[in-house]
Chain A
Amino acid sequence: MDRTLTIAKREFRGYFNSPAAYIVVCLFLLLLGFFFWSPFFLANRASVRGMFDLMSVLLLPTAPAMTMGLLSEEKRTGTIEVLLTMPVRDSEVILGKFLGALSLLSVLLLLTVAYPLSVSTLGTIDWGPILTGYLALLLQGSAMLAIGVLASSWTDNQLIAFFVAGMMCFALWIVSRFLPFIPQQAAGIIEWISFDYHFRNLVRGVIDTRNVFYFLSVIGLALAMAFRSLESRRWS
């Protein structure tokens, strides 16, 4: 566990050693600010409901950008050889990388708290759904990061990792919008595997264990697959 945290810490610090993390975070906040505030005064309601939907879309490119280099860069430069010949389990490496990215995501989400705070000065807002909204974002973001770690474990090219992870996340996010075109029998299943369905429930202010469980399963599954992919180097 110590080693997992050591890896996570290194990744987290690594983000801020290069401009990449600053660019990603700033771009996210700028776009969020623009798209959230520009219709805000037209609606003339002190509500942040739209912010969560917006953030869930913005995470689609942001999360893969955070994870794209985690393993692929180590593979490309060869540092993975040093890392994996240290007394550390492959699972600890995967978990450490994931936690490193998760801490950056947490920082990003923390920065956006400024928006609900400023809205609360304009009128009374209900903090309950905001808390569950952040929980939803954290869960969906984590699931996206786990998928990103998985994509990063497949290749030694950051860009490929970014696009593969982005496409997978996008597919899981958009699939619920295709429900009208899907046969009745399959619709239930398709809806259930989409991010959006579980996300919406949580944003509404309802913490349903089924929704939480869904996101945790996606995280678990993606990380387990990343672990297998990392481990497979030994047998190739």
Chain B
Amino acid sequence: MAATTIAGRCLAPAEGRTPKRAGAQRESLDMSEVMIEALDLSKRYDDSLALDKVSMEVRRGEVLGFLGPNGAGKSTTMKILTCFTAPTEGTAKVNGCDIFDDSLGVRKSIGYLPESTALYHDMLVLEYLQFVAEMRGLNGAEQRKQVKKVVEETGLEGVFAKGIQTLSKGYKQRVGLAQALLHEPPILILDEPMSGLDPNQAVEIRDLIKEIGRERTVILSTHNLAEVQVACDRVLIISKGRIVADDTPAGLSERAGKRRYLVTVQKSNGLSETSGCAALEKISGVQRVRSLAAEAEDELSFELLPTTDEDLRAPVFKAAVDNGYTLLDLHREGQNLEQVFRDLTTTESPDPEAHDAAAE
């Protein structure tokens, strides 16, 4: 006993030191270094709240996908992180620089592709890249080297002597990306980099982003779920200015992979929504039951979420018979990503559980 107490005493100060040590480790192990740290970002436009206390951390080597419906606040967040606009409340640090105190420092360490892929249409691709390089402080041999490199990376060899206004949407997107990559920024912020591209181009750009994301931090926004699954290490789902989910694509799929059972029974005496819910909840393996809007007046519908992958159809049938319910319909369905996305983004509340409770 005495030995354990001593051990316990010895451990205590050591434990106290652990966070510091972890911090020191983080510096040497740069893959876990926090590159972007946002704290309670809020943005108010006139009377509408575009962002509501958004906080997040993004580490080096992470490809983070921003997912959300239009107007959810994805672009606003990106504009704040790139110092184009300032938050009404809250602040953020990008690569250790504060967006208010050292906006130039922030902007030096980011490459940004805005939503509209806006380019100077009166310039040649090469001229444009040279201009951006000059603005980024790249001159002479270094400029030539970097321009050549990004032209190769983004596959612009065939068009670099052409006028930007003659390019197709896909090529314009690539020029925008090339522009963002020129100074080899540790952080890339891409607002809908794959929108408007044909599937082949989208795959190319996506692979390029993945490649870039190995050593650098990438934030990209999209409303395409499939893209997020392939390209991102982590997904933030934003809805109405709030983060409603922060998960890996695998985690989201898991959520999506969950089966649910839909049960419809005939309304009868002694069977109400609440008693039905209670009866169905007793079945072992059922995590949660909620009643759904029934299709007909003399019917009651319930949704059952299981705790395990076990098939619950037989127990549900048995429970219905035992309680004397007339079972009209029973089927099992998988929840897909679209459904998860819809669930998360059509609710007022950031917590999906709370939403379910409210729906009851």
Interface positions of A (Cβ within 8 A of B): 2-3, 6-7, 10, 13-14, 17-18, 77-89, 233-236
Contact = CB atoms under 8 A, between A and B. Distances in A.
A85 B110 contact: yes
A17 B123 contact: yes
20 contacts: A2-B134, A7-B135, A10-B120, A10-B123, A13-B127, A18-B122, A77-B118, A78-B118, A79-B119, A82-B112, A84-B83, A85-B82, A85-B107, A85-B110, A87-B108, A87-B135, A87-B136, A88-B107, A233-B85, A234-B85
Question: Which of A2, A79, A89, A235 gathers most chain B CB within 10 Å?
Answer: A79
Contacts of B45: 236
The listed residue with most B CB atoms (<10 A of its CB), out of A81, A83, A88, is A81
In this complex, the member of B79, B123, B134, B135 whose beta carbon has the largest number of chain A beta carbons within 10 angstroms is B135
A78 B83 CA distance: 15
Nearest to B115: A78
A234 B131 contact: no
A233 B43 CA distance: 13
Nearest to A10: B131
B6 to A, nearest CB: 56
A86 B84 contact: no
Interface residues of B, number: 30
A85 B110 CA distance: 8
A78 B116 contact: yes
B114 interface: yes
Interface string B83-96: 11110000000000
A14 B135 CA distance: 16
A87 B95 CA distance: 14
Interface in B93-151: 104, 107-108, 110, 112, 114-116, 118-123, 127, 131-132, 134-137
A76 to B, nearest CB: 9
Contacts of A82: 112, 114, 118-119, 132, 176, 179
Contacts of A3: 134-135
A2 B137 contact: yes
Nearest to B114: A81
B104 A14 contact: no
B131 A85 contact: no
Nearest to A18: B122
A78 B191 CA distance: 13
B115, B118, B121 — which one has the most chain A CB atoms within 10 A of its CB? Answer: B118
A79 to B, nearest CB: 4
B123 A81 contact: no
B314 to A, nearest CB: 59
Q: Is the interface of A mostly helix, strand, loop or mixed?
A: helix
Contacts of B114: 78, 81-82, 85
Contacts of A80: 118
A84 B104 CA distance: 10
B135 A6 contact: yes
A6 B131 contact: yes
Contacts of B112: 81-82, 85
A87 B116 CA distance: 20
A18 B123 CA distance: 10
A87 B107 contact: yes
8 tightest CB-CB pairs across the interface, nearest first?
A: A78-B118, A78-B116, A17-B122, A81-B114, A234-B86, A79-B118, A85-B82, A87-B107
Contacts of A88: 107, 135
Contacts of A233: 84-85
A87 B86 contact: no
Contacts of B85: 233-234, 236
Contacts of B86: 234-235
Contact of B120 (A79, A87, A236): A79
Given A6-B134, A86-B132, 8 more contacts: A6-B131, A77-B116, A78-B114, A78-B116, A80-B118, A87-B136, A234-B84, A236-B85
B121 A87 contact: no
Contacts of B108: 87
A235 B123 CA distance: 31
A73 to B, nearest CB: 9
B110 A14 contact: no
Nearest to A92: B135
A69 to B, nearest CB: 10
A77 B165 CA distance: 12
Contacts of B120: 10, 14, 79
A206 B311 CA distance: 99
Given A88-B135, A233-B85, A81 B118 contact: yes
Residue among A84, A86, A236 with the highest chain B CB neighbour number at 10 A: A86
Contact of B84 (A7, A13, A14, A84): A84
